[in-house]
Amino acid sequence: MTTVLVVEDERRLLRALQLALQSHGYDVVAAPTGTSALASLAERAVDAVVLDLGLPDMDGQVLIRRVRATASIPILVLSARHASAQKVAALDAGADDYVTKPFGLDELLARLRAVLRRGHPTADLDRVDTGSFSLDFPARRAARNGDEVRLTPTEWKILEVLTHTPGRLVPHQEMLERVWGPAYVKETQYLRVYLGQLRRKLEADPSRPRHLITEAGLGYRFDP
């Protein structure tokens, strides 16, 4: 059974999340404060953390760093609307993705499944098929609507990183580091250029991408 630690100081929301996750087959550990969250983590193994950034006793980023220092558990952040600086800081601190309050349960469950896949990539990574395009990684063949498309080695690398964990937000820094290397983590304009190219080559309507999604100021996401 997958165990999720939910950290949220609003008791009613904590209770609602606990019931909802349990009804979807998750084992839930509930923590109303940062301190109790760290105590729970020291006591038992959890597979993922769902974490409200606005806690009374501890800064959300501090808590993310404390979790990160001990384990590579996926962390999904709950954040207030209009708090994009807070989201960036949370992602930089090591969170894997975020959901903006108020959120629907379906969205939360989808994001949670996506961050859980981070540690367990999909079994078949060799092929990707969407409604618009297909990718065959071992053969380095790409096609849009059946017509072959030529991609550069860098474009293949970007697609590998993005499609490896469908639905997961890949932050700018992580993408730059994995594709170009640690010296390039500030070169976000590379990503704009390359993602624009990839959309023109692969998306049915490059101006309204359905698969290679931009999360403004944060990163990119592959929706299969």
Q: Closer to Ca ion at the Cβ: 9 or 174? A: 9
At its nearest, how many Å lie between Ca ion and the CB of residue 52?
A: 5
Q: Closer to Ca ion at the Cβ: 34 or 166? A: 34
Are 39 and 70 contacting, i.e. CB atoms less than 8 angstroms apart? no
Strand-pair partners of 100: 79
At its nearest, how many Å lie between Ca ion and the CB of residue 31?
A: 12
At its nearest, how many Å lie between Ca ion and the CB of residue 69?
A: 23
At its nearest, how many Å lie between Ca ion and the CB of residue 18?
A: 15
At its nearest, how many Å lie between Ca ion and the CB of residue 8?
A: 6
At its nearest, how many Å lie between Ca ion and the CB of residue 83?
A: 12
Closest by CA to 213, choosing from 150, 176, 148, 166, is: 166
Are 145 and 204 contacting, i.e. CB atoms less than 8 angstroms apart? yes
Instruction: Name the site residues for Ca ion (rule: CB under 5 A).
Output: 9, 52, 54
Closest by CA to 24, choosing from 58, 42, 50, 45, is: 50
Task: Give the end-to-end CA distance of the chain in Å, rounded to a whole number.
Answer: 26
Q: Which secondary-structure segment (H or E) carries 38?
A: helix 34-43
Sheet holding 141-144, edge to edge: 127-129, 133-136, 141-144, 147-149
Closest by CA to 100, choosing from 15, 32, 90, is: 90
Q: Closer to Ca ion at the Cβ: 58 or 109? A: 58
Q: Closer to Ca ion at the Cβ: 9 or 160? A: 9
Q: Closer to Ca ion at the Cβ: 13 or 88? A: 13
What are 199's two structure tokens? 């959309």
Q: Closer to Ca ion at the Cβ: 54 or 206? A: 54
What are 212's two structure tokens? 């290679």
Residue of this chain nearest to Ca ion (CB atom): 54
In whole angstroms, what is the distance from residue 202 CA to residue 223 CA? 13
